Amino acid sequence: MTEKYQILDKKIHLSRREFVRLAAAGSIVVLGEGCDTVSQAFTPSSAQMAQLAGDAWVDLKKQQPTTNDSRYTSRVNRVAPRIIQAAGGSPAEWEVAVFASDDLNAFALPGGKIGFYTGLLDIMENDAQIATVMGHEVAHVFFNHAGQRYGRTAATQAGLGVAQAVIGDGSQGSQLALGALGVGAQYGVILPFSRQHELEADKYGVRYMKQAGYDMNEALRFWERMSSSKSGQPPEFMSTHPSDATRMAALKQEIALLGG
Kindly list the catalytic residues: 137
Exposure of 142 in the CB half-sphere (CA atoms within 13 A): 22
Number of other residues whose CB lies within 10 A of the CB of residue 211: 17
Three-class SS state of 66: strand
Yes or no: say if 124 and 79 are a contact pair by the CB < 8 Å rule. Answer: no
Three-class SS state of 113: strand
Number of other residues whose CB lies within 10 A of the CB of residue 230: 8
Find, among 55, 39, 94, 17, the residue nearest to 175 by Cα: 55
Find, among 205, 203, 244, the residue nearest to 223 by Cα: 244
User: How far is it, in rounded angstroms, from Cα 226 to Cα 231?
Assistant: 10
Find, among 144, 156, 154, the residue nearest to 181 by Cα: 144
User: How far is it, in rounded angstroms, from Cα 212 to Cα 218?
Assistant: 13
Number of other residues whose CB lies within 10 A of the CB of residue 69: 12
Element (H, E) at 114: strand 113-117
